[in-house]
């Protein structure tokens, strides 16, 4: 047996914590005259309480509506005027805000992020207009789009039973319309303390100066306790669950199938083989399911496989999934595709060729390493590694850990994906009729 050796990139990383609990990661790199500043809060769609569906997403929008010393829309104006870019995003298990600026823009980014960490402008006007914006986003991206929400919104309620794991985190119109300023303030107070966040800075800066600037701008942010995450645990499936629905805008049938996998944080060693397995199944024309479903059988027009609903294996916590989704030509049977998927999993369970496995591991490691080429991507990845794994430097070790995954481990992972443990979601096209 051989094991692919994949080197870990060497980045200087300094970590410390402020008195208010804010965790700070500094990763200097003088190679490019830019600086990336990311703030990641340990709150995502799964964390939001019942009756507050969509609040994590809503708050991503609210955080751009002004704060103590920054007026409405001024965050974006300041960053763009300095030659930078910015954005924010909501995920299953976290929310992040990030800025990329020329090196001399470091203090500006720190000031802006610290100011809204003290508190966004939660007013009746801002809440009403951002609820409206979020609802329109849902209409555009889900309700009025073919395959909207497939499968990341539609499949969890088939697979899971608890509110945390199964609800639509994009947002319920009922809950969004019912939101009050008091509700929004309560959500901020609970989930946005400094102690529930990581500030990550990467790029061209002096460490001592950056540390002083972080202390200056974030040190006076009020200290509040971090929320205690509820348990997300629930039993695995013991029998297949299957749901189909008609999508009036879809023109081709589609299917998504998912199985529970080990926790990416507490069971990382057991989880890693599934990351490799997803690449083995669908990454590139030589992958098992692409070759079989698309090129040989022609029973699918597109297929993809990955771990976690948002395909971010190292920025998630369990329970989560191994997911395969496919789009089918008109008239093709979903059961035929499911049967082929199970056949290919059974073949992998019998054993994997080392040369094929090394090629796949090299591809997935290369994808991770490319993410570190970007200063902005690096600052975000260091922050999520600190949030989920307690050490920003873990981000640099994931490629090497994947290189250590054995053929036996991948075979065992494939063998665990049995029909009785799966959840299946079928899209019936209504647009073709």
Structure tokens given for 29: 């790199």
Decide if pLDDT at 1 tops 50: no
Structure tokens given for 289: 């399911």
CB 151 within 8 A of CB 325: yes
β-sheet bridge partners, residue 246: 428
- The mean pLDDT value of the chain amounts to 94
Band (pLDDT 50/70/90 cuts) for residue 30 is confident
Percentage of the chain lying above the pLDDT 70 cut: 97
The pLDDT tens digits for 395-407 are: 999 999 999 999 9
Axis-axis angle for helices 181-191, 124-138 (nearest 10): 80
The pLDDT tens digits for 92-140 are: 999 999 999 999 999 999 999 999 999 999 999 999 999 999 999 999 9
Question: What letter does residue 278 receive in the DSSP assignment?
Answer: H
∠ CA(131), CA(132), CA(138), 5° rounding?
90
**CA 327 remoteness from chain centre:** 23
* Runs of H (alpha helix) within 66-123: 74-81, 106-118
Give SS3 for 306.
Answer: strand
Give the pLDDT score at 2.
45
Determine the average pLDDT of the residues in 372-394. 94
Band (pLDDT 50/70/90 cuts) for residue 6 is low
Say how far apart CA 351 and CA 412 lie, in whole Å: 9
Say how far apart CA 179 and CA 134 lie, in whole Å: 13
Q: N- to C-terminal Cα distance for the chain? A: 53
The pLDDT tens digits for 220-229 are: 999 999 999 8
Decide if pLDDT at 9 tops 70: no
Percentage of the chain lying above the pLDDT 90 cut: 90
The pLDDT tens digits for 48-105 are: 999 999 999 999 999 999 999 999 989 999 999 999 999 999 999 999 999 999 999 9
Decide if pLDDT at 433 tops 80: no
pTM of full prediction above 0.75: yes
Decide if pLDDT at 230 tops 50: yes
* Runs of H (alpha helix) within 65-219: 74-81, 106-118, 124-138, 156-159, 163-166, 173-178, 181-191, 207-218
Structure tokens given for 296: 């040989």
β-sheet bridge partners, residue 321: 260
């Amino acid at each position: 047996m051989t094991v692919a050796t994949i080197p870990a990139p060497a980045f200087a990383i300094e970590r410390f914590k402020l008195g208010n609990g804010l965790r700070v990661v500094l990763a200097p790199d003088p190679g490019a005259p830019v600086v990336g500043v990311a703030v990641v809060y340990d709150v995502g769609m799964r964390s939001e309480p019942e009756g507050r569906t969509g609040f994590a997403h809503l708050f991503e929008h609210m955080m751009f509506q002004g704060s103590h010393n920054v007026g409405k829309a001024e965050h974006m104006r300041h960053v763009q005027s300095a030659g930078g870019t910015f954005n924010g995003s909501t995920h299953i298990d976290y929310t992040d805000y990030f800025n990329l600026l020329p090196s001399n823009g470091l203090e500006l980014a720190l000031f802006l992020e610290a100011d809204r960490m003290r508190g966004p402008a939660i007013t009746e006007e801002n809440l009403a207009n951002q609820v409206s914006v979020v609802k329109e986003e849902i209409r555009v991206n889900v309700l009025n789009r073919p395959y909207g929400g497939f499968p990341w919104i539609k499949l969890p309620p088939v697979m899971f039973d608890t509110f945390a794991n199964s609800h639509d985190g994009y947002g319920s119109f009922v809950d969004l319309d019912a939101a009050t300023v008091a509700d929004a303030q309560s959500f901020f107070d609970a989930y946005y303390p400094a102690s529930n966040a990581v500030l990550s800075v990467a790029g061209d800066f002096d460490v001592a100066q950056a540390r002083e600037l972080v202390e200056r701008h974030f040190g006076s942010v009020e200290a509040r306790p971090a929320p205690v995450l509820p348990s997300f645990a629930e039993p695995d499936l013991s029998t297949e669950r299957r749901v189909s629905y008609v999508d009036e805008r879809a023109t081709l049938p589609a299917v998504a199938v998912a199985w529970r996998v080990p926790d990416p944080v507490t069971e990382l060693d057991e989880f890693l083989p599934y990351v490799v397995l997803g690449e083995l199944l669908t990454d590139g024309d030589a992958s098992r399911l692409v070759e079989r479903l698309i090129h040989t059988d022609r029973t699918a027009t597109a297929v993809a496989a990955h771990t976690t609903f948002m395909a971010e294996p190292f920025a998630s916590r369990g329970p989560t999934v191994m997911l395969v989704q496919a789009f089918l030509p008109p008239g093709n049977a979903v059961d035929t595709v499911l049967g082929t998927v199970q056949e290919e999993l059974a073949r992998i369970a019998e054993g994997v060729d080392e040369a094929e496995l090394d090629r796949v591991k090299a591809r997935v490691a290369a994808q991770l390493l490319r993410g570190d080429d970007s200063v902005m991507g690096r600052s975000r990845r260091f922050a999520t590694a600190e949030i989920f794994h307690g050490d920003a430097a873990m981000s640099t070790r994931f490629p090497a850990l994947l290189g250590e995954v054995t053929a036996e481990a991948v075979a065992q992972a494939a063998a665990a994906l049995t029909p009785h443990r799966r959840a299946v979601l079928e899209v019936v096209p209504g647009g073709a009729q």
